[in-house]
Structure 1
């Protein structure tokens, strides 16, 4: 029987290259938010892949980019700090986009910041293109990374090649014990995940400027000791769910109070929508994710506030968790 292996894996790449989706697919549960908007990930979220022969801890970082704000610089610092702490760096390149200057800049950063760390090239989103396009992208990425780096194609959406990627990652980490108990999927605090789920729901179908300007803070999480009458949904709230009953026919319930911070009044209007309809939809979608996370019924209360130019203000960045 082969030795048990364990190690830390980091997914890096330009924003929106499928890193979060790949993390969720490998873990088998949603622990990282996904969006078609760049700059969605704001934290390094660890997903845990438990196998009979290995444990892989997946570190999903924000997309590395040339920063334009203090927030952007701090997100880049998160990525760079991670480079020195992992065993394997997976460079994610989508199959449906040509390798460009941004990708080459990231590769240069990798070589400067982590010259001794194993780099694996991952061509993502292969379900979107023909096999010929996949082959061409694999060849192009292999030529840029050089002979010391392997490359592998994968589709997180369809699951194709996920087992191949997982096996390859296991082969690249050292023999060692598990870092986390079997069954754990992430070490990210529940409140961070709840805030991320709310932000993901708010980012769906909005303008390009908003992802950079939106932050979510969980103000309070209050368990209810006894079952109360069904509460009325506050304007913009997700309301309570009638699903997920607990033991004895008395569903446990948790009140979650959250604030969505934007930088301008015009962005506040985008989030709230006409007569609060948009915010109510955000609450409905996010509540379903939070209930799945907590395993209890949730009453979600959302409010939107303006924190002017918070991305450029060190004090506000700290207050918002950056």
Structure 2
């Protein structure tokens, strides 16, 4: 190992917790860029998107996992399997718990599984999120209950949305990952294909726009990606829904909804990529897309994990 390598650290950090605990918001805050879908709906993260951050001499590779919850559907089981796999592979696991929701049955379920699922040599820390939502005496009682249930190495009080306490968490992670060379170039912020980030961006805009009308049974796939001579990019995507009625909702009156979604996604992708983006969306009905192995592969999930 060279002298330069001896001074550097690098490792994987898994962020786990219940659905909508703020994992994606925290990762985006730590990475300093939007690499994971964030909406007010629960269970929006389907794939293990890795965001990459540098802090002093350390490189941190964040695995933003789907929320952990009791499962019924094939897709649910694949997402939970992906979440635990992310924790099992990580050097450090951070359990995120929402302060105002407290120690819910879902959190207790995670605590019961945690010791068996994480890497035996990995460090496990606790981050209590949205601390601005509750009073200090409740925070203290919650911390004591959680610490009695699992031997966390460190406990952090944070607000992922506002940034409170995130710096202390980042410093702890940076000094706690293993010594060694960096795993990625220093200008890279994610290790998933840009096609997947583009699909997740469009799916986020759909969920924000249709949160009242449309259930979770939709997915977005990037089918075409063409770099133009002028430097711009043409992106062709398909939105899969399960019913004909959902297609009408997604397109909207006179195509207004799909146009608005396309414009919002295109604007964000242009800002992220630094080039002009030409985005073309189609909506197709596939009644059982969530049972197709190909759909799971596109989302970075393992179809085999859905088997009982």
TM-score by length of 2: 0.89
The residue matched to 1:107 in structure 2 has which SS? helix
The residue matched to 1:157 in structure 2 has which SS? coil
**Do structure 1's residue 121 and structure 2's residue 131 form an aligned pair?**
no
* Residue 141 (structure 1) aligned to one of 146, 158, 172: 146
* Residue 48 (structure 2) aligned to one of 41, 44, 51: 44
How many Å separate the matches in 1 of 2:166 and 2:201?
Answer: 24
**Do structure 1's residue 93 and structure 2's residue 97 form an aligned pair?**
yes
How many Å separate the matches in 2 of 1:223 and 1:282?
Answer: 22
The residue matched to 1:181 in structure 2 has which SS? coil
**Do structure 1's residue 261 and structure 2's residue 265 form an aligned pair?**
no
How many Å separate the matches in 2 of 1:6 and 1:163?
Answer: 18
Of 311-320 and 267-276, deviating more is 311-320
Answer whether contact 2:89 2:119 (CA < 8 A) is retained: no
Counterpart position of 2:167: 163
Answer whether contact 1:69 1:312 (CA < 8 A) is retained: no
The residue matched to 1:43 in structure 2 has which SS? coil
How many Å separate the matches in 2 of 1:303 and 1:291?
Answer: 20
Of 254-263 and 306-315, deviating more is 306-315
CA offset digits 1:75-116 (Å, max 9, x no partner): 122122222211111111011212111111112222222262
The residue matched to 2:225 in structure 1 has which SS? strand
CA offset digits 1:295-315 (Å, max 9, x no partner): 111111111111102223446
Counterpart position of 2:306: none
Of 208-217 and 70-79, deviating more is 208-217
How many Å separate the matches in 2 of 1:311 and 1:256?
Answer: 23
**Do structure 1's residue 150 and structure 2's residue 154 form an aligned pair?**
yes
How many Å separate the matches in 2 of 1:141 and 1:21?
Answer: 22
Q: What's the C-alpha RMSD, in Å, of the aligned pairs? A: 2.2
**Structure 1 residues 86 and 257, CA, compared in 2 at 3 Å: closer, same or farther?**
same
How many Å separate the matches in 2 of 1:177 and 1:102?
Answer: 37
* Residue 274 (structure 1) aligned to one of 247, 253, 270: 253
Of 20-29 and 31-40, deviating more is 31-40
CA offset digits 1:107-143 (Å, max 9, x no partner): 2222222262321111112233344444343333223
TM-score by length of 1: 0.85
**Structure 1 residues 120 and 211, CA, compared in 2 at 3 Å: closer, same or farther?**
farther
How many Å separate the matches in 1 of 2:232 and 2:297?
Answer: 31
* Residue 183 (structure 2) aligned to one of 170, 179, 183: 179
**Do structure 1's residue 285 and structure 2's residue 264 form an aligned pair?**
yes
Q: State the shift of 1:316 in Å.
A: 5.0
Structure 1 gaps, min length 5: 227-251
Counterpart position of 1:242: none
Structure 2 gaps, min length 5: 302-308
How many Å separate the matches in 1 of 2:192 and 2:51?
Answer: 8
Answer whether contact 1:5 1:53 (CA < 8 A) is retained: yes
Of 211-220 and 121-130, deviating more is 121-130
